[in-house]
Amino acid sequence: MQAPAPQPGIMEIELYQGGASKVPGVEDVLKLSSNENPHGAPESAVAAAREAAGAMHLYPSTDHAGLRRAIAEVHDLDAARVICGVGSDEVLHLLCQAYVGPGDEVVHPAQGFLMYPIATRAAGGTPVAAAERDRVVDVDAMLAACGPRTKLMFLANPANPTGTMIGGQDVVRLADGLPEGCLLVLDGAYVEYAGDFDGGLGLAGVRENVFVTRTFSKMYGLGGLRVGWGYGAQAVIDVLNRIRGPFNLSNVALAAAEAAMRDRDFVARCAEDNRVQRARLTEGLRDLGLGVDASEANFVLARFENEAAARDCDAALKAQGIIVRHLAGYGLPHCLRMTVGDAAGVTRLLEGMAAWARA
Ligand SMILES: *Cc1c(COP(=O)(O)O)cnc(C)c1O
């Protein structure tokens, strides 16, 4: 007897590889491969999680009212139009499940986040990659990639893994140029690192065809708890809530995320430190002769002469217990993505890079 055949598209999904976290034989590992917060989780969130853990025998809230209220107050949004998911990954999956089926297309930048094609294929749809221009999203190419079957357009801004951004005018041009019935999804995983850009929340507030996703995994230091959220038109939120699991977020995760959202001092401190350390890292890498675009996120993309050099550097860093991300899977085999650490982390990375360059 055979197992049933999976739905079309599923076997075309390449397994997502998370950032490595271990080096055999090395104890003091510096993990710079997943863009986690080097300062850890906010103490306020850890305390809230501990307290909530005492009630883990009880089912959590189904409507996430407390967390949605905190998000809405901090960002000046309508709480009824916020949806919370198991990481923003779940929100991306819900969007695909709700709006994409066999024969439908989803446009994403060629060097875009790998979850976009994965979530598209999981729903039976076809991902369509639009070429970028010098590692920056090309608005014209994105619009040219749209057709009558395009249901979603995914775009991280700032982008991962390039760290580059497109401006507010370009985002409006994308929203204006979309075919009828297509939703622009602005993935704001790194917005908190990008100065005073609102990540498109203002646009999503007034346009039915714009949706924003955000995460607690990066700036808020809660990657292990899996909390993200989305904001968009009430009609879209109502659709997504029908397919969202009623108990998708645990009470521990909800409590921690709410506390983290309200901890504006933590966010301000981390943003400032990232700005300073990102500049140090960018300059240090450029001094070594590497190509580095100005990053608006909490990582930088280092470009090497060729793939062999990138692989050689990756191995040399690993031997020193420093884990960065080689981007072969993103079509950037000559590049390494490096999370911006704290001051000591950046120093250790730059010293490791200098040792590799001398060898
Ligand atoms: C890290 C990241 C996310 C966050 O995903 P979560 O599921 O919320 O942890 C989303 N989009 C991009 C582009 C990312 O790099």
Binding site membership of 189 for ligand 1 (Cβ less than 6 Å): yes
- Rounded to whole angstroms, how far apart are CA atoms 182 and 175? 9
Binding site membership of 156 for ligand 1 (Cβ less than 6 Å): yes
CA-nearest residue for atom 1, ligand 1, is: 189
Task: Note the pTM of the prediction, 2 decimals.
Answer: 0.96
Provide CB contacts within 8 A for 344, sequence distance 6+.
none
pLDDT at 25: 82
Q: How confident is the model at residue 154 (pLDDT cuts 50, 70, 90)?
A: very high
| Percentage of residues of the chain with pLDDT beyond 90 | 91
pLDDT at 337: 98
Report the residue among 17, 32, 36, 89 best suited for mutation to probe ligand 1: largest number of ligand atoms under 8 A from its CB. 89
Binding site membership of 217 for ligand 1 (Cβ less than 6 Å): yes
CA angle at 335 for the pair 350 and 35, rounded to the nearest 5°: 65
| Percentage of residues of the chain with pLDDT beyond 70 | 100
Atom of ligand 1 nearest to the CA of 159: 13
pLDDT at 61: 95
Report the residue among 16, 86, 88, 222 best suited for mutation to probe ligand 1: largest number of ligand atoms under 8 A from its CB. 88
Question: Residue 200: phi, psi to the nearest 5?
Answer: 95, 5
Note the pLDDT tens digit of each residue in 8-28.
Answer: 889 998 888 777 788 888 889
Note the pLDDT tens digit of each residue in 244-293.
Answer: 999 999 999 999 999 999 999 999 999 999 999 999 999 999 999 999 99
For residue 130, pLDDT beyond 80? yes
Q: Ligand 1 mean position to 359 CA, how many Å?
A: 35
pLDDT at 20: 76
pLDDT at 17: 79
What 3-state class would DSSP assign to 135?
coil
* Closest C-alpha to 178, from 203, 206, 212, 144: 144
Provide CB contacts within 8 A for 348, sequence distance 6+.
30, 322, 341
Note the pLDDT tens digit of each residue in 210-251.
Answer: 999 999 999 999 999 999 999 999 999 999 999 999 999 999
